């Protein structure tokens, strides 16, 4: 195909893809249409990028290269490039095949993952793939291939030790900061836990968002290895390293669309765990009204899928189905959750968080062989109550560059605050998880670390009229106003009495 020489014009903007812009006259000369691919070649390197056209951003004879392309090719202003029109990748046809409901071969899935990793797919094509996963799903063989290719497409953490444990919650429950307590407990018992986490997709805070309040989570592979070898554990952001990089690109699309397809979730979790060398994995599936998985039969089906996938990938997987019908603890949002996690480690945490963290830590202690069957939770509680978990968390925070002596009360939260009062006497009969997450995200979580909310009472608790039931925190007044409109339209906490409804029958006269 015909090539033309163009001068590089680096553009100071990230796009998340390999994207360039051509002047419309150069595009016409190439026979290019908006969204077509071009190969960019220098004497030292070449890559394929998606090209769009412009009249003003670049002049004729120039190619505008956004940050990802400019860095990949080492471009400087005025460098000469050879630009060639190339056909769209075959993986687009495989995406269309999945959209029609057909099963993909291993080679076809590998091709899709490779093009995702190489940033060869447009935003529209990526979205089509994610939506196809939501609607059509995948069989086990497809998920195995997806997982394996996502692992092999990135870097791997080599610790040269066993066992290596890891834990992951599929999420969907507000305030699910269990890992901030469970990981230090397990590491304090002498086990190795290289915990990498994603940022929030649809919730108010992921583990990485919460840990970032206390210390640096953007760690390189060498740093993660050094910290794990030094203190036995890490709580880091997986997106900062090339652990299954295709997964991080897909997650960015999921976050934009507000979806989390089951097959991709399975592959995402397992690929990240395999990439850090985990050979014993615990999966937490919160279940209940308003959770991502609402019914026990769904949870058991999900658990079966995880264990089957683990068997196919030759790793030991255990699954815990936990209660997810209301928030874990009381705090929702990065800073508020970080405060609550530290309080829990220092002996003053809410019962639901203590129970969940020690239960999951107990299973991991048994998986790691340091606690006998059925005795893991008791050992986890002893470690927590002794202060050893708190000391281990301090070591982790310091090793990652934070202040190990930080006190919960020193953590700043949003200075704009609104207290929601009970409209009448009664009992808390329902807490709407989805609405709690919506409110927390509306006030700015997780981007604004101090934004979020605190649930004052849990289900079953008696409440009096005008008693505080919710505290909302924000950095910006406008965001707080938006959240209050949500509360008014859809109250997240339902107060009711023992009498649900009165029905009267009046006999007809005459």
Q: Cite the active site residues.
A: 260
**3 state DSSP class of 395:** helix
Q: Is 79 in contact with 42 (CB distance < 8 Å)?
A: yes
Q: Is 433 in contact with 173 (CB distance < 8 Å)?
A: yes
- DSSP 8-state assignment for residue 198: P
Torsional class of 497: left (φ above 0), alpha (ψ -120 to 50), beta (otherwise): beta
Residue 465: name the closest of 493, 439, 431, 427 by CA.
Answer: 427
Residue 197: name the closest of 206, 188, 189, 205 by CA.
Answer: 206
DSSP notation for 323-371: E-SS-SSSEESHHHHHHHHHHHHTT---HHHHHHHHHHHHHHHHHTTSS
Other CB atoms within 10 A of residue 74 CB: 11
Partners of 319 in the beta sheet?
283
Map tokens 């986490």 to a residue: 197
Distance CA 3, CA 17 (A): 22
DSSP notation for 372-383: -TT-HHHHHHHH
Distance CA 315, CA 309 (A): 9
C-alpha triplet 124, 130, 135: angle, nearest 5°: 120
For strand 452-455 and strand 331-332, is the pairing parallel, antiparallel, or unpaired? antiparallel
Q: Is 172 in contact with 436 (CB distance < 8 Å)?
A: no
Could you tell me the maximum CA-CA distance found in the chain, to the nearest angstrom?
102
Q: Is 286 in contact with 292 (CB distance < 8 Å)?
A: yes
Distance CA 357, CA 340 (A): 13
Find all residues with CB under 8 Å of 496, minimum gap 6, and list them.
Answer: 426, 427, 429
């Amino acid at each position: 195909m015909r090539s033309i020489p163009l001068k590089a014009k680096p553009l100071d903007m990230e796009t998340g893809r390999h994207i360039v812009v051509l002047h419309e006259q150069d595009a016409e000369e190439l026979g290019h249409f908006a969204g077509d691919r071009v190969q960019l070649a220098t004497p030292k390197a070449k890559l394929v990028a998606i090209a769009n056209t412009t009249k003003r951003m670049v002049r004729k004879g120039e190619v505008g290269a956004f940050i990802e392309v400019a860095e990949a090719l080492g471009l400087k202003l005025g460098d000469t490039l050879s630009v060639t029109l190339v056909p769209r990748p075959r993986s687009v046809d495989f995406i269309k095949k999945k959209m029609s409901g057909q099963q993909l071969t291993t080679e076809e899935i590998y091709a899709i993952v490779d093009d995702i990793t190489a940033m060869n797919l447009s935003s529209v094509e990526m979205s089509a793939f994610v939506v196809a996963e939501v609607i059509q799903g995948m069989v086990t063989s497809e998920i195995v291939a997806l997982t394996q290719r996502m692992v092999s497409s990135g870097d791997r953490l080599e610790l040269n030790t066993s066992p290596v444990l890891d834990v992951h919650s599929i999420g969907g429950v507000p305030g699910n900061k269990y890992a901030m307590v469970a990981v230090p407990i397990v590491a304090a018992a002498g086990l190795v836990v290289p915990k990498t986490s994603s940022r929030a997709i649809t919730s108010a805070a992921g583990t990485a968002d919460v840990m970032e309040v206390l210390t640096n989570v953007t760690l390189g592979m060498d740093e993660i290895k050094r910290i794990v070898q030094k203190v036995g554990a890490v709580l880091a952001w997986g997106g900062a390293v090339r652990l299954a990089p295709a997964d991080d690109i897909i997650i960015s699309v999921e976050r934009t669309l507000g979806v989390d397809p089951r097959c991709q979730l399975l592959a995402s979790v397992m690929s990240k765990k395999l990439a850090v060398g985990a050979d014993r994995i615990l999966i937490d599936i919160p279940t209940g009204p308003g959770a991502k998985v609402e019914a026990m039969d769904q949870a058991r089906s999900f658990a079966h899928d995880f264990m089957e996938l683990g068997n196919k990938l030759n790793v030991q997987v255990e699954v815990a189905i936990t209660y997810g019908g209301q928030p874990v603890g009381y705090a929702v949002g990065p800073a508020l959750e970080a405060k609550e996690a530290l309080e829990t480690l220092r002996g003053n945490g809410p019962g639901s968080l203590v129970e969940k963290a020690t239960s999951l830590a107990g299973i991991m202690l048994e998986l790691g062989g340091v606690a006998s069957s059925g005795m893991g939770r008791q050992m986890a509680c002893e470690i927590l109550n002794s202060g050893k978990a708190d000391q281990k968390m301090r070591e982790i925070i310091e090793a990652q560059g934070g202040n190990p002596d930080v006190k919960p009360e020193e953590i700043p939260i949003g200075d704009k605050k609104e207290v929601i009062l009970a409209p009448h006497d009664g009992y808390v009969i329902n807490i709407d998880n989805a609405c709690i997450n919506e409110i927390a995200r509306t006030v700015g979580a997780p981007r604004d670390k101090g934004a979020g909310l605190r649930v004052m009472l849990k289900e079953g608790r008696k409440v009096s009229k005008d008693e505080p039931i919710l505290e909302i925190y924000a950095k910006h007044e406008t965001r707080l106003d938006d959240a209050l409109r949500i509360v008014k339209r859809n109250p997240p906490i339902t107060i009711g009495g023992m009498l649900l409804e009165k029905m009267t029958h009046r006999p007809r006269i005459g």
